[in-house]
Structure 1
């Protein structure tokens, strides 16, 4: 963006159009030219600081518009312009954010449009609605009228067009307007929308001279007749005075701004570990078997013993069904990579996880150790040193992962068991901590 500084110090800015790109790239007669000129006139009327004004676009013919204005700009994926604009406004509510998108973008990003209106985020959306996808060859869009002929509806569109204005009005938009690119008062309506604190949308009907006009013998008069024939009212259709999200958010959490959401938590070294080499541990069991929480306790116990620790979990979206796998790395040095392709210690606690362990079992050799429950001992073939748990004297089935991991901590001498005992009790209610400690005590007998 290059703006002569004198335009910012004089009493008025005469244009927000780029002096380096004086001519739009649109087809002759394209409505985008008119609408962009109306936007420029509205910006001149408002005399906004170009450094605090952001034009957001996505894909489609209208997506080329941002580079023709000397303001801040953001260009992204088709249908996602509203999401970018929402983030920009939330990050800095003092910015004026204007979204330029086509009817194609409305269809692709419909969920974003609905939620922006529902949230009442303070952005202004100009829909350059030319009733078809112009950039890709004139395919039908969500606003193509019933009977409209396009590249994908040669015999006439059978779908009902989306009423964009009614949709966002129902969702709670603060300002809703429908008109055409030919409206003389459009700059004033755009200016009104920009000045509205909440979510504003202008559905601006245009002519696509490349496709929709020749395919439908369309014209300005036909455009107006189509709007009327569909029973779509024009003009300002809704004005509401409701709180704008970005400012409401800042006001609600003003005292917490710049502060951490949670207070910092410090982990004090209380024990010493004899561990000399980085050790990669994998706990593999069934969902609901406390694998993830046990791995967290293992990592915390390592930190109590002065070690660096990482944890990576893998589990299905279902609850209490399928496998649960956790990878924990313990090291005296800072850890920069969390993946575990070749475990030093692998505990397999249930058949649900076997299919996921194939490559890791294949990678292990005689220098690594596999810990396994008795029912899977014969089924698993590996070069790793195999140790079979014996739970006959430790009948704590619902805490199998805790007991097995505690036994592994003892056997591999990862760190003092007292560190693990403290870790599994940290932040737990007394009755749960008591049950956890019973499971750890039972580990004395399983190897």
Structure 2
């Protein structure tokens, strides 16, 4: 275990800023908990609070966009809790400005009871951007945008968390002697926890409001805001535990099995990317998802990225599926290994993206027979004529599986089983009709 998580370097905050006190008390809490630095994640928001990352060099840190830190932390916690051991302690470092922007993310994390801890650094204004008021600025408080005093009441975060069923909430002063102990308790709480730390921005709040170190408690008292641990409720299970109980058979990342218990064989010895391109409403992305699920059922690692225009129901629909026998640490791809095009919309988008120009020499291009030759060497398939628009993408995916032999075609059926009986029946039909013997792909052109 670590004797300290803090780096031996000075904090960059203004003299008298409470952010440094909170960072020190967080460090004390982590040391008391005897957690490994490798199991700690700091998810920081935008603002002065976001400068904390390099001061905890042995822990993981994620610096996010304004207001989104809670959502990103929730995703990491749920992935760890559902797919791994659930050991991560994720601490969100957010200011009152970030909380204002990300209020819905805080609400949802509390409602879901995600097992994370939010340290809300409430200095009652946006510090880094110039001292503007936030939704947590008290009524009458002067900021650069409310020089005569804020007219609007501040959100009471205790009531906000209570109304969103959060299990733990404390309101403390940055100077409180027991702040580290409260942070320690919050991190140990099994579910959503927030510690609102009242502090002063010495750059804006202090000169504009003529405050000193004793002002914070007086301000809280004048607003009727109690200090201390105000919510402590363990009656609800964390979201990842509920998820595990609801889906007990779908959690392993190593050799995930179909409902039959079977793990399918594969012949893939390297990472490859398949692009499926077609038209909106023709199940392009769901067909690509079946390919991804089939790969998972074969013990492979998968990433899928979807793209479509803002019109959603018209224009192109495209999916990029990356499959690898090894963990995928880089989700992008320099060049696809196969491009499957089943409509004019899909062809236009593939051309605009430059997928065909980046295709390696051994790359595979499959196009519907109604489309022109788009590459020196193209497999032409009558997928639209055979399966209709809604089945064309799945027909192309199945034909690619049959032709390459990387996956067992039955893994596609098993993937469809997980989606329901109706999809299983239609998938089995498409697979049986997309073999080289049935679909009879025609190779046109010659290799360059």
TM-score by length of 2: 0.60
2:19 to 32, 42, 45: 32
Cα separation, partners in 2 of 1:339 and 1:209, compared to 1, 3 Å:
same
1:397 to partner: Cα distance: 9.9
Distance (whole Å) between structure 2 residues aligned to residue 327 and residue 195 of structure 1: 40
Distance (whole Å) between structure 1 residues aligned to residue 191 and residue 133 of structure 2: 31
Structure 1: stretches of 5+ with no match in the other structure: 4-15, 269-280, 299-310, 329-335, 416-420
1:54 to 40, 58, 61: 40
Corresponding residue for residue 120 of structure 2: 127
Corresponding residue for residue 82 of structure 1: 70
Cα separation, partners in 2 of 1:186 and 1:324, compared to 1, 3 Å:
closer
Q: Residues 254-293 of structure 1 correspond to what in structure 2 (within 5 A)?
A: 257=252, 259-262=254-257, 263-266=262-265, 287-288=280-281
Q: Residues 76-225 of structure 1 correspond to what in structure 2 (within 5 A)?
A: 76-77=63-64, 78-83=66-71, 85-86=73-74, 87=76, 90=81, 91-225=84-218
Distance (whole Å) between structure 2 residues aligned to residue 212 and residue 265 of structure 1: 63
Cα separation, partners in 2 of 1:372 and 1:32, compared to 1, 3 Å:
closer
Distance (whole Å) between structure 2 residues aligned to residue 246 and residue 264 of structure 1: 28
Cα separation, partners in 2 of 1:169 and 1:71, compared to 1, 3 Å:
farther
1:316 to partner: Cα distance: 4.9
Distance (whole Å) between structure 1 residues aligned to residue 289 and residue 23 of structure 2: 56
C-alpha contact (below 8 Å) 1:165/1:201 kept by paired residues? no
Distance (whole Å) between structure 1 residues aligned to residue 20 and residue 111 of structure 2: 30
Distance (whole Å) between structure 1 residues aligned to residue 54 and residue 316 of structure 2: 51
Distance (whole Å) between structure 2 residues aligned to residue 436 and residue 251 of structure 1: 32
Distance (whole Å) between structure 2 residues aligned to residue 295 and residue 102 of structure 1: 40
Distance (whole Å) between structure 1 residues aligned to residue 334 and residue 30 of structure 2: 50
C-alpha contact (below 8 Å) 1:132/1:139 kept by paired residues? yes
1:20 to 5, 8, 26: 8
Distance (whole Å) between structure 1 residues aligned to residue 280 and residue 91 of structure 2: 47
Q: Residues 407-418 of structure 1 correspond to what in structure 2 (within 5 A)?
A: none
Cα separation, partners in 2 of 1:208 and 1:266, compared to 1, 3 Å:
same
SS at match of 1:238: strand
C-alpha contact (below 8 Å) 2:277/2:346 kept by paired residues? yes
Structure 2: stretches of 5+ with no match in the other structure: 268-273, 292-303, 322-332, 358-364, 404-408, 417-422, 441-448
- Please say which of residues 201-210 and 428-437 is displaced more in the overlay: 428-437
SS at match of 2:207: helix
SS at match of 2:139: coil
Cα-to-partner distance string for 1:182-237 (whole Å, 9 max, x where unaligned): 43443443333233222221111111111111012233454334334444333322
Distance (whole Å) between structure 2 residues aligned to residue 292 and residue 40 of structure 1: 45
Distance (whole Å) between structure 2 residues aligned to residue 240 and residue 297 of structure 1: 41
TM-score by length of 1: 0.60
1:129 to partner: Cα distance: 0.9
1:28 to partner: Cα distance: 2.4
C-alpha contact (below 8 Å) 2:391/2:430 kept by paired residues? no
1:292 to partner: Cα distance: 7.7
C-alpha contact (below 8 Å) 2:280/2:316 kept by paired residues? yes
Distance (whole Å) between structure 1 residues aligned to residue 89 and residue 412 of structure 2: 51
Q: Residues 353-368 of structure 1 correspond to what in structure 2 (within 5 A)?
A: 356=349
1:287 to partner: Cα distance: 4.1
Cα separation, partners in 2 of 1:266 and 1:106, compared to 1, 3 Å:
same
1:130 to partner: Cα distance: 0.7
SS at match of 2:105: helix
Cα separation, partners in 2 of 1:254 and 1:130, compared to 1, 3 Å:
same
C-alpha contact (below 8 Å) 1:213/1:219 kept by paired residues? yes
SS at match of 1:125: strand
SS at match of 1:111: helix
Distance (whole Å) between structure 2 residues aligned to residue 187 and residue 282 of structure 1: 51
Matched, 1:72 2:50: no
C-alpha contact (below 8 Å) 2:121/2:198 kept by paired residues? yes
C-alpha contact (below 8 Å) 2:22/2:174 kept by paired residues? yes
